[in-house]
């Protein structure tokens, strides 16, 4: 059964997420993707064939929207590359998104290395 994955990255990590998506595009193709607005725009430029649903930009409530979808059982995995070296105006929303992913124990990766391990572990093989 196809999964719904949330893909989110802070600005300086967007190239790393776009590169990760491009590298796994074939395996991502059967699944539904949800992105915060700016992240989704960057990913669309790198992988135009992947259908991506956009929510609001993170600082404008997008992280909360994705958190709400996790709480509703609508998101099966979270790939989120936060910037570990830059303060975020919406830091409370970022923490809330991390927390809710833990509360619902969905597969979640917060770095390219861990996201690769999720794929190697078969996360996307279910499509």
> Using an 8 Å Cβ cutoff, are 17 and 44 in contact?
no
CB of 38 or CB of 115, closer to ligand 13P? 38
Token pair in block for residue 86: 């830059």
49-54 long-range Cβ contacts below 8 angstroms, 24+ apart = 49/25, 50/21, 50/25, 52/7
CB of 76 or CB of 93, closer to ligand 13P? 93
Contacting ligand 13P (CB under 6 A), which of 3, 5, 8, 100? Answer: 8
Calpha distance 49→71 (Å, rounded): 28
61 binds ligand 13P (CB under 6 A): no
Hey, which residues are catalytic here? Answer: 63
What is the number of residues in the chain? 127
58 binds ligand 13P (CB under 6 A): yes
Contacting ligand 13P (CB under 6 A), which of 3, 5, 6, 10? Answer: 10
Three-class secondary structure assignment of 51-64: CEEECCCHHHCHHH
64 binds ligand 13P (CB under 6 A): no
Q: Which stretch binds ligand 13P (CB under 6 A): 36-44, 70-78, 103-111, 115-123?
A: 36-44
Contacting ligand 13P (CB under 6 A), which of 46, 59, 96, 111? Answer: 59
Other Cβ atoms closer than 10 A to 70:
23
Residues that bind ligand 13P (CB under 6 A): 8, 10, 36-39, 57-59, 62-63, 94
């Amino acid at each position: 059964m196809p999964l719904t994955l949330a893909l989110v990255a802070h600005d300086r990590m967007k190239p790393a997420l776009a590169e990760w998506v491009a590298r796994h595009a074939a395996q991502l193709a059967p699944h539904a993707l949800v992105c915060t607005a700016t992240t989704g725009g960057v990913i669309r430029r790198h992988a135009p064939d992947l259908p991506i649903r956009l929510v609001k930009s993170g600082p404008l409530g997008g992280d909360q929207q994705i958190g709400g979808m996790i709480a509703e059982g609508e998101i099966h995995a979270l790939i989120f590359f936060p910037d570990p070296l830059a303060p975020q105006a919406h830091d409370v929303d970022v923490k809330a998104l991390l927390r809710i992913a833990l509360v619902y124990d969905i597969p979640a990766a917060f770095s390219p290395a861990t996201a690769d391990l999720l794929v190697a572990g078969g996360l996307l093989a279910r499509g």
